[in-house]
Amino acid sequence: MTETAALPPQTVLVFDFGAQYGQLIARRVRDLHVYSEIVPCDVTADEVRAMHPAAIILSGGPASVYADDAPSVDAGIFELGIPVLGFCYGQQIMAVTLGGAVGHTEKGEYGPAPLMRLDGVCGEEAGAEAEAVVPRSELLGDTPCSQTVWMSHRDAVSEVPEGFVVTSRTDVCPVASMECPERRLYATQFHPEVRHTPYGNDMLKNFLFDICGLEQSWTMDSIIEDSVAAIREQVGTDRVILGLSGGVDSSVVAALCAEAIGKQLTCVFVNHGLLRKNEPEEVEEVFTNQFDVDFVHVHAEDRYAELLAGVTEPEKKRRIIGEQFWKEFFAVAEELADDGRPVKFLAQGTIYPDIIESGARKTGGKASTIKSHHNLIPFPDGVHFELIEPLDHFFKDEVRALGTALGLPDHIVHRQPFPGPGLAIRIIGEVTPEKLEILKNADAIVREELDAYNESLFEQTGVRGGELPRDEAGGPEVERPVWQYFAVLPDVRSVGVMGDERTYQRPIILRAVESSDAMTADWAKLPYEVLARVSSRIVAEVQGVNRVAYDITSKPPATIEWE
């Protein structure tokens, strides 16, 4: 690394050793209103020193510390005087780096495990082993002497480094946690970051607030205040242009920039005619009546219809739609320049997982390349914008919370994932005005009925927004009881009977899935009465449809979208 960016005060650095543990830990820390940032595990002690973090957490990982390609950590990290907390692989790498040892346990330990504290605070319950350890574990704090924790390991620390004491064990793992308070080094073999360790959050609080002395300053008010100030400082008196799709990320960027610079922002909404029913009107209403920005509604429906006529191959449809979007977008930018209002900055909705997954960020520095599916921008000759990415430090749930705090309506903040090519890839085969009309009307019924079904589940469970249930690995199960749902129009017709006449009309495919991240998905087990209501309404209300089928294929082997 050649350059290190300054971090916000009281930042916790999460060292990423693989899998998804790093992201989960970073989210847990932020849930406690402390800012965290993920860095690669090979960051050097000098780089960390230059960033002035308040604390370090070493994540778990899938490797063995003795594997040939096992990730390591700069030993100088432990000499910086910065409090360090390690989980699972993080404990093991701390042990071997500081002179301890890790070995194979007789059997693996996966899932819930009973933990016994060994520190003196548990008195007789801890037994004779308590005599050799600290009077009270700073990390375990007031958590019970016997409790359940979540384990996932075959290797475990067999010999602690000099100066460390063992503070807990399980039946399988003799060193379930260890600490060296004098050096402010702490570690657990179990995973406090997952919900299945009931007192894990208390341990995180003990580390962040009691051991590190941090404050809960990462709040929506402070986030908005800091983000607005950063945008104003970067932009000055120049102009900013934004491609507004009506999706969550671009809408939140627009609202944030509107708060910061008002009329210096021009939002370009390219209407390709492939959005869902009433969406163009909803987007325009929000960004003309609620926010004080220049809103340009580009009606490109006819141009897209002409370009897509006769096109059936999915990737060709995607390519045409994407290329035409940038032509429409840059035409507006040129018009602004011709009016004497040249644009210097391009704002876009890159979020933190995009940065992490692209591998573009290292140790907090600004990303130089961005995940391709977001930002392969085909700048015309002689055209260049500087980028503004105000969401590049935020996870998706934080983006939604930010949108709510900025006053965006729920139908935008909690908008379902929607492909950039829009309904063109939910129409199998050629896109025609007739097919678009059928699909828009059918999809509106699907969304109306399943919105109502989700709302009924919310009333029963109280699960909304960021209050997400967790799966066995501690990640979010679903953002809503049904995560995504829509209609698909296949390129076939089917025979039916309506009234006393035979019909030869189109079927509609209903797709509804449960997922947390779209990497995998399972079909939603909708009640029969919900399916029946959706089917009867579509057939009765949508002209040209005489059949409804339900896609019950998971991902993999299928994808969520049909094209």
Note whether residue 563 is domain-resident: no
Nearest to 490 by CA among 420, 425, 556, 422: 425
Mean pLDDT along residues 507-527: 86
Residues 439, 425 contacting (CB under 8 angstroms): no
The DSSP string of 60-93 is --SS-TTSTT-----GGGGGS---EEEETHHHHH
Q: Show the CA angle centred on residue 537, arms to residues 532 and 539, nearest 5°.
A: 100
Regarding whether 87 and 226 lie in a shared domain, the answer is no
Note whether residue 556 is domain-resident: no
Which of these is catalytic: 153, 191, 196, 272?
Answer: 191
Note whether residue 3 is domain-resident: no
What's the pTM? 0.80
Whole-number pLDDT of residue 534: 98
Regarding whether 112 and 80 lie in a shared domain, the answer is yes
Regarding whether 236 and 198 lie in a shared domain, the answer is no
- Cα separation, 446 vs 423, whole angstroms: 14
Regarding whether 368 and 316 lie in a shared domain, the answer is yes
Note whether residue 430 is domain-resident: yes
Residue tagged 């019950």 (tokens): 552
Regarding whether 505 and 442 lie in a shared domain, the answer is yes
Cβ-defined contacts of 228-237 (< 8 Å, 24+):
228/256, 228/259, 228/260, 229/260, 230/390, 231/256, 231/257, 231/260, 231/261, 231/388, 231/390, 232/260, 232/261, 234/345, 234/388, 235/260, 235/261, 235/264, 235/344, 235/345, 235/388, 237/264
Regarding whether 170 and 90 lie in a shared domain, the answer is yes
- Using CB atoms within 10 Å of the CB of residue 518, give its burial: 0 to 12 exposed, 13 to 18 middle, 19+ buried: middle
Which of these is catalytic: 37, 47, 138, 193?
Answer: 193
Note whether residue 534 is domain-resident: yes
CB burial of 239-262 (b: ≥16 within 10 Å; e: otherwise) equals bbbbbbbbbbbbbbbbbbbbbbbe
- Residue-range definition of the domain harbouring residue 159: 12-211
* CATH code assigned at 539: 3.30.300.10
Note whether residue 557 is domain-resident: no
Confidence label for 285 from pLDDT (cuts 50, 70 and 90): very high
> Could you tell me where the DSSP H helices lie in 134-274?
200-205, 220-235, 248-261
Neighbours of 236 (CB within 10 A): 10
Regarding whether 127 and 29 lie in a shared domain, the answer is yes
Residues 462, 138 contacting (CB under 8 angstroms): no
Last residue of a domain, one of 158, 184, 211: 211
Whole-number pLDDT of residue 260: 95
* CATH code assigned at 134: 3.40.50.880
Note whether residue 49 is domain-resident: yes
Q: Identify residue 353 by its one-letter amino acid code.
A: P
Regarding whether 445 and 352 lie in a shared domain, the answer is no
Tell me, yes or no, if 301 is annotated catalytic.
no
Mean pLDDT along residues 465-483: 48
Residue tagged 């492909």 (tokens): 419
Regarding whether 333 and 251 lie in a shared domain, the answer is yes
* Average pLDDT over the chain, rounded to an integer: 86
pLDDT in tens, 324-357: 999 999 999 888 887 777 889 999 988 887 777 6
Last residue of a domain, one of 160, 188, 211: 211
* CATH code assigned at 257: 3.40.50.620
Strand partners for 269:
297
Confidence label for 6 from pLDDT (cuts 50, 70 and 90): low
Which of these is catalytic: 41, 47, 88, 212?
Answer: 88
pLDDT in tens, 181-208: 999 999 999 999 988 899 999 999 999 9
Residue 456 has pLDDT above 90, yes or no: no
Residues 139, 186 contacting (CB under 8 angstroms): yes
Last residue of a domain, one of 158, 183, 211: 211
Strands 240-243 and 185-188: unpaired
Whole-number pLDDT of residue 361: 41
Tell me, yes or no, if 191 is annotated catalytic.
yes
Mean pLDDT along residues 441-459: 91
Regarding whether 502 and 460 lie in a shared domain, the answer is yes
> In this prediction, what percent of the chain has a pLDDT beyond 70?
88
Regarding whether 460 and 403 lie in a shared domain, the answer is no
> Could you tell me where the DSSP H helices lie in 199-351?
200-205, 220-235, 248-261, 279-285, 301-308, 314-338
Residues 295, 284 contacting (CB under 8 angstroms): yes
Note whether residue 93 is domain-resident: yes
Regarding whether 141 and 91 lie in a shared domain, the answer is yes
Whole-number pLDDT of residue 478: 41
- Give the SS3 label for residue 370: coil
Number of domains in the chain: 3
pLDDT in tens, 358-383: 554 433 333 222 223 334 567 777 67
Whole-number pLDDT of residue 462: 60
